[in-house]
Amino acid sequence: MKTAILSVGTELLFGQITNTNTVYLSQQMNMLGFDVMYHYTVGDNLGRVAEMIELAFKDCDMVLTTGGLGPTQDDLTKEVACKVMGDELVMMDDVLDEIIAYMKTLRRGEITENNRKQAVLPSRAEVFHNDAGTAPGFALEKDGKYIICMPGPPREMTRMFEMSVLPFLQRMSEDVIYYRMIRTFGIGESKLETVLLDLINDQTDPTLATYAKEGEACLRIASKRKTKEEAKEAVDKMLSRVQEIIGDYIYSCDDEELVQVVCRKLMEKELTISSAESCTGGMFAAALTEVSGISKSFQRGLVTYSNEAKMDELGVSSDTLEKYGAVSEETAIEMAEGLKRVSGSDICISVTGIAGPGGGTREKPVGLVYIGFIYGDKKLCKKVQMRNVSRKWNRHYALLSMLDIINKNI
């Protein structure tokens, strides 16, 4: 079934908020077997919203809308959808009771007239409960065309989709799509596609698709079958073939971030870790501490940005700094060794490099990074030479490189 996603809200056009709803809905709809053909964004204008819905229906069987269901005067999606689908608005007492009950949980006092308006819905609508807000959603059909309207706030929209819209859509889909997202590091998207070209060229079902992500590459393996069990079996067989070819680069087959994989390993193995960072300025420590429960493993993170800090905090030799420079294998190793003395952690990792855009030389160009690593009897230093894309990208890739070293060596 061809589908369009229509995001309603002038704030989206002004760039005041990021439209994460479209990304989420596209992923979910494709997984269910619905073909997403178009993304539209329109402001809070009655005529333009109607034009976009009618335009989408020229080539699509279903339109998903987000936004414009709130209590204010510029929330017009419901009225437009009702008109386009040839229905009339009526007060739904059971929906009003739900809104009143929700407002009581917030201790907001008496329900206002504009909140009461949110219980006025198309008479033929299948209503979707909103347990995270006051705006109910709904689905409406006419002549084989469907419109599904959901609230704009991502928390409300995703909750409604998972609890109500998803079961509604599953009743409409004869087939089930099962997919796995494979995450890799150390291989670019173009090379990933090249080494898997024989599988990609021969694909019918399952299908393979590569995606670029900042600093890494992803591969989606998807199958569309009559049952989830059949689709899963087909995907798993293809995954085995993929692993034979690029297994060294794969760090997750379940769409996990590299930091999640590393933190889970650290906690499962009950290993402690500390970090000493120069060019990343604490990004490694910040990334780890985003993961719940990592306090069991992460002990300390030192930002030793200057040469003085490297000497004072980690005991890096002034002779080493003078002879080899702050950005060198020797300095990175001494940083890790000093960290080991200071922290006593099972794993000690250090990083020093040139993030740019300035500071590079012919011998040490921008993007050069050295990562020191100590774990038990293992002591190593990895040299990473990144493309001079931007300071932000270089620092992010250095962080991924640190995580990759840990992932492959514990």
Q: What's the token pair of residue 402?
A: 């640190």
Q: Which stretch of DSSP H or E encloses residue 184?
A: strand 176-184
Cβ(112)–Cβ(100) under 8 Å?
no
Strand pairing of 120-122 and 126-128? Answer: unpaired
Token reading at 281: 């300025």
Please report, for residues 24, 84, 320, 346, the alpha-carbon distance to residue 402 in angstroms, rounded to integers and kept in the order given.
Answer: 29, 54, 22, 16
- Please check whether residue 97 is in contact with residue 136, taking contact to mean a CB–CB distance below 8 angstroms: no
Quick: pLDDT tens for 46-104: 999 999 999 999 999 999 999 999 887 778 999 999 999 999 999 999 999 888 888 87
- Nearest Cα to 251, choosing from 290, 280, 222, 219? 219
* Geometric angle at alpha carbon 249, from 245 and 254, rounded to 5°: 95
Long-range contacts of range 103-112, CB-CB < 8 Å, 24 or more positions apart? 103/134, 112/71
The residue to which tokens 């514990």 are assigned: 410
Q: Strand runs (DSSP E) across 214-304, as ranges?
A: 216-225, 250-252, 273-277, 298-303
Question: 224 has which bridge partners?
Answer: 177
Q: Going by C-beta distance under 8 Å and a sequence separation of 6 or more, which residues neighbour residue 51?
A: none
Q: Residue 82: which residues within 8 A CB-CB, separation 6 or more?
A: 88, 89, 122, 140
Residue 221 CA, chain-centre distance (Å), reads 18
pLDDT in tens, the chain (410 residues): 899 999 999 999 999 999 999 999 998 898 787 889 999 999 999 999 999 999 999 999 999 999 999 887 778 999 999 999 999 999 999 999 888 888 877 766 677 788 888 899 999 999 999 988 889 999 999 999 999 999 999 999 999 999 999 999 988 877 778 889 999 999 999 999 999 999 999 888 999 989 888 899 999 999 988 888 999 999 999 999 999 999 999 999 999 999 999 999 999 999 999 999 999 999 999 999 999 999 999 999 999 999 999 999 999 999 999 999 999 999 999 999 999 999 999 999 999 999 999 999 999 999 999 999 999 999 999 999 998 779 999 999 999 999 999 999 99
What pLDDT shows up at residue 181?
93
Q: What's the farthest any 2 CA atoms get from each other in the chain?
A: 82
Chain mean position to CA 304? 31
pTM, to two decimals? 0.78
Percent of the chain with pLDDT over 70: 99
Report CA-CA distances (Å) from 12 to 25, 39, 152, 153, 332.
Answer: 16, 13, 10, 12, 45
Query: What is the bridge-based pairing of β-strands 137-142 and 126-128?
Result: antiparallel
Q: How far apart are CA 286 and CA 382, in angstroms?
A: 22
Q: Which residues pair with 183 in a beta bridge?
A: 218, 252
Determine how β-strand 2-8 pairs with β-strand 62-66: parallel
Tens digit of each residue's pLDDT (9 = 90 or more) over 4-51:
999 999 999 999 999 999 999 998 898 787 889 999 999 999 999 999
Amino acid at 329: E
